Amino acid sequence: MSRLQLWQGVVFLLLWLAYGATYLLRKPLGIIKADLEVAFKVKPSSLGWVDTALLLPYSLVSLALGSLGDWLGPRLTLAGGLVLSAAATVPMASCQSLPPLLVLLTVSGAGQALCWPAACSLLSRWFSDASRNSVFGMFGTCCFLGGLAGTGLAVYMQAEHGWRSVFLPPAVIVACLGVLVSLLGKNPADLGLVVPDRAADQQAKGGRESATSAFKVFRMAMVPEVSASMFCIKAVRYALMFWLPLYLTRTLGYTQTGAGLASTSFEVGGVVGSACVGMVVDRWMGGRALLASTIAIAGSAVSLLLFMLTASWGFVFHAVFLAIAGALNCGPDVLLAGSVAADIGEREGGAPSAVTSVVNGMGSLGTVLEGPVVAFAAAWLGFSSMVPLMILLLCFGAAATFRASHIHRRTAGNVRLSNETCVA
């Protein structure tokens, strides 16, 4: 094993653990809501602010401070985000009322918002352009497996030591990983290494790129389309995550246990889709991630349509179509917010963290708004309207990604023509 390969493995594993660990901070919120209701003596409707306090600042910071990672460098930005979110999580165990908890969740959400774009920016510097989609596809599995680990840890701590204990272990883990990132999260150039088949101008940059405002990022080619697509697929993913069990019980007559089991098939499909989509794009589609994402998002819409049309066919068909929908939804999620966004940032404006942050922030905005939208649709049209709404969102997302793919092909053609003219 060469020195470059060793460091590639170290950096990949470190970043995989670091970002996956942020889900250890998020997952306890879904586990302890009933405990919070009793301990803080609040109404169930007030608990909705718990999710908003975390997700809204996550989205806003991603949109407003996207260039921070380009200015400070991904290593310091990621380490700082991890330590900040961990520091805000520790005092949550001592909260005696809901308002202080909401304030701490706001700080934690802001810190976590810095992590994904910084991790993607650093990861992209260590691997060749040809293998980028495969690497990001495997990297995206940390979100789903981190979520499963976060749920298991929270359930165990709650059962053994009470709900207040769920905050400390994740905070310690995340803080330790933040320190490791600050020590080991280096660029190849810092170690005198050169990544083959990687643009030379990108390798030469130390740890900082040009700082770019969110307004300038939105003016870059393909960014509005990719952001719109991320908004749609992220809204669908979180809507199915939070509302699918209730949909299954209300419209298809599932028991609570059966609904829980059936709904997990979407997440299982997400893990498989995230792991495989990058390899499919690099090996069989010539690296055309935008075209692959268009096909996958459209396929996810078709899978949900088949799920709805086979409502009377039973559990097996439901689980299969939900798993396919999950794979074809979560795969593009990882590509668009990872390799595609980083590539746009590098080629269009020299600001991969800023572009990744804006795209991810728009996706996070979808997670904030999906709850009210689904609740409104269910109140006016019934829960049976949820799946058609998700299909419409996916169709819009596929159309946006297709337009981005068309712009990319046209831009690439212009670049080739310009290069040929210069050579002549």
Q: What is the pTM of this model?
A: 0.77
Q: Label each residue of 183-224 as H, E or C.
A: HHCCCHHHHCCCCCCCCHHHHHCCCCCCCCCHHHHHCCCCHH
pLDDT given for residue 214 in this prediction: 66
Q: In angstroms, rounded to a whole number, what is the distance separating the alpha carbons of residues 321 and 119? A: 32
pLDDT given for residue 405 in this prediction: 92
53 contacts 102 by C-beta, under 8 angstroms: yes
Q: Which amino acid is at 212?
A: T
SS3 label, residue 125: coil
pLDDT given for residue 391 in this prediction: 95
Domains 1-188 and 220-424 alike in fold: yes
Tokens of 324: 């396919």
**What is the dihedral sign for C-alpha 170, 171, 172, 175?**
positive
Q: In angstroms, rounded to a whole number, what is the distance separating the alpha carbons of residues 388 and 308? A: 8
DSSP 344-391: HIIIIIS-HHHHHHHHHHHHHHHHHHHHHHHHHHHHHH-GGGHHHHHH
DSSP state of 43: -
Q: Where are the domains of the chain?
A: 1-188, 220-424
In this prediction, residues 98-124 reach a mean pLDDT of 91
What CATH number does domain 1-188 carry, 1.20.1250.20, 3.40.50.880, 1.10.620.20, 3.30.2020.30? 1.20.1250.20
In this prediction, residues 37-51 reach a mean pLDDT of 77
Q: 289-309 and 256-284 helices cross at what angle (nearest 10)? A: 150
Count, in order, helices (H) and strands (E) of the chain. Answer: 20, 0
| Among 114, 126, 62, CA closest to 88 | 114
Does domain 220-424 fall under CATH 3.10.450.50? My reply is no
Per the model's pLDDT, the better-predicted residue between 237 and 85 turns out to be: 85
Q: How confident is the model at residue 416 (pLDDT cuts 50, 70, 90)?
A: very low
Please write the tens of the pLDDT for every residue from 209-268. 555 666 777 788 888 999 999 999 999 988 887 778 778 887 888 876 777 777 778 878
Q: How confident is the model at residue 339 (pLDDT cuts 50, 70, 90)?
A: confident
263 contacts 322 by C-beta, under 8 angstroms: yes
pLDDT given for residue 408 in this prediction: 85
